A = this chain, B = another copy of it.
Amino acid sequence: MSKSSTLTFDATADLLGQALAKNSLPDVVRVLSLLDVAETLEQLERLTTIDRALAYRTLPKGRAIEVFERLDARLQADLIEGLQDAEVADIFAALSPDDRVILMDELPAVLASRLILGLTDKERALTSTVLGYPQGAVGRYMSPEFVTTHPHLTAGQTMARVRAGIDDAESIYTIPVTDGGRHLVGMVSLRDVLRVGESELVADFAKEPLAVPAMQDVEEAARYCADAKALALPIVDAENRLVGILTVDDALRILEDAESEDAARAGGSEPLRRPYLSTPVRSIVQARVVWLLVLALGATLTVQVMGAFEATLAEQVVLSLFIPLLIGTGGNTGNQAATTITRALALGDVRPRDVVKVFAREVQVGALLGLLLGLLGFAVAAAIFTIPLGLVIGLTLLGVCTMAASVGGLMPLLGKTLKVDPAVFSNPFISTFVDATGLVIYFLVASSVLGI
C-alpha cells in the first residue's frame, strides 16, 4: 500500500523466496532494502522460522529494531534464539517496558532473567512495575512511562512538561492530571493544551478522567478504550494513583488477539498465536487435536442414543435418511444463537444478568425458525414419502430448532458466569447436547406419530 516499493507484494515474495532458496544473502539484502517497515514485516511473517532468522539478520540495525518491536511476541521469541547475545541485549533494551514483558512471557525463564539483569536501573524498575501485575490484567500491558500535569499548572507549563518528556513517554497526546499524591484527578488532551491560552490553568479545562484499574481484565480495558474513542487511557491502582497508560495501538493489538482467539474457538480450535504460514504443521495439529477429541468424545453420546433406538431404526430404515439433515439443522441453529450471544458478550451489549431476556428472545426466534422450516420439511417429506413421515419431520424440526436456539443462547452466558471463555464453553456443549437431544426428540416424535 505504501509508495516506497515499486514491486508488488507477490513479486517481492517470489524474489525473497528465491534469494533465500539460493542462500544468497546479497540478494536478500537487495530485496529487503526496497521495503518499508510494514512491508518487511508482512514478508517476514510468511517465512519459516529459519528463513526469517536469516532474512532478519541482514537488516540494518535501526531497521532491525523497528521491525522487531512490531513482530508478534511468539515470533520475537523465535528470532531471539537465533541471534547473538549482544544483539539480543540491544534489542531488549530498545523495547518499551510493556512490550518487553509480553516478550518475556514467551522466553525461557533463564534467558528472561539474564536479559532483565542487563538493563539499566531505570529500565529495570519500569519493567518490574509492569511485571508486578498478573497475566490478563491491563497493568501487564500498560506503559509505565507517561507525561503528567497538575491542576495548578498552566497550559504553557504543561507544554514545557510535554517537551521535556517527549523522548520517553509512549503517548504525549493524552495527558493525565494528578494531585500531589499522584492521584488521578483529570485528563487533558494535547489538543486542548494547544487550544487554550498559555496562562490558562489546567484545573479550568481538564476533563473527567476515564480511569481503568490496573487489575481490570485487559480485554475489557481495551474494549473500553476503543468504545471511548480514546487515544490513551490512564491506568490507576486501588488507591486511584496513576501507574501507567494504555495506548490505543496496544488496545488494538489486544482486541485483535482476543478476536483471533474467539474466532478460533468458535471454529473449535485453539488460536495459533503465529501467522498461519509460519506455524509448523505440528503446532496446527496441536491447536486442533484436543478440541477434536473432546468433540468426538461428546459425540459418542449420539452413538448411545442411536443404540437405544436401534430397534425403531431397524423397523423403519427410512428414518435414518433424515438423521444428517435434522442434526445438522439443530447444530446450525444452536451455532447461530451461540455466535450472536458470544459476540454480544464480547462487545458488552449483553451481560450474564440478561439471561431471562436472552432466553425469552431465543425461544421465540427458535420457535419461529422451527415453524418455518417445519412447514417446509412437512411439505417436502409428505410429498416425496408419506404424510405421517412428513409430520414426523415437521414436528421434529420445530422441536429441534426451539431447543437448539435456546440452548445456544444460554451457553455463552453460563460460560461467562462460570468465568470460562464463552466460546470454549459453548462449542463442544452445543454440538454434543444439541445432537443428542435432537436425536431423542426425533425418535420420540417418530414413535408417537408412527406408533412404533
Contacts and interface: CB of A to CB of B under 8 A. Distances in A.
Interface of A: 1-4, 9-10, 36, 38, 41-42, 45-46, 70, 162-163, 166-167, 172-173, 190-191, 194-195, 208-213, 216, 220-221, 224, 226-229, 231, 240, 248-249, 251-253, 255-256, 259-260, 262-264, 266-269, 272, 275-277, 281, 284-285, 288-289, 291-293, 295-296, 299-300, 302-303, 306-307, 310, 313-314, 317-318, 320-325, 327-329, 331-333, 335-336, 338-344, 347-351, 353-354, 357-358, 361, 364-365, 368-369, 372-373, 376-377, 380, 431, 435, 439
Contact of A269 (B228, B267, B340): B340
Contacts of A276: 340-341, 344, 349-350, 358
Given A166-B194, A321-B307, A227 B266 contact: no
B299 A324 contact: yes
A291 B336 contact: yes
A53 to B, nearest CB: 19
A348 B229 CA distance: 25
A32 to B, nearest CB: 15
30 contacts: A1-B212, A2-B211, A3-B211, A3-B240, A10-B353, A38-B224, A38-B227, A38-B228, A163-B194, A173-B231, A226-B253, A248-B248, A248-B252, A260-B347, A262-B263, A263-B266, A264-B343, A268-B332, A268-B336, A269-B339, A275-B344, A281-B365, A285-B365, A288-B365, A288-B369, A300-B380, A302-B325, A307-B321, A324-B327, A328-B331
Nearest to A230: B249
A191 to B, nearest CB: 6
A22 to B, nearest CB: 19
Contacts of A342: 263
Contact of A340 (B9, B272, B354): B272
Contact of A224 (B1, B260, B269, B338): B1
B285 A369 contact: yes
A264 B208 contact: no
Contacts of A284: 340, 361, 365
A191 B166 contact: yes
A255 B208 CA distance: 28
A329 B3 contact: no
A190 to B, nearest CB: 7
A-B interface, 8 closest residue pairs, ranked by CB to CB distance from nearest: A267-B339, A302-B324, A276-B344, A275-B349, A229-B249, A299-B325, A306-B321, A320-B320
A124 B308 CA distance: 71
Contacts of A10: 351, 353
Nearest to A252: B226
A289 B372 contact: yes
B317 A310 contact: yes
A167 B195 CA distance: 8
A3 to B, nearest CB: 6
Nearest to A216: B1
A299 B313 contact: no
Contacts of A41: 227
Contacts of A323: 306, 320, 323-324
Given A248-B252, A340-B276, A373-B292, A267 B266 contact: yes
Contacts of A313: 317, 320
Contacts of A357: 277
A439 B252 contact: no
A220 B349 CA distance: 26
A308 B289 CA distance: 33
Contacts of A347: 256, 260, 275
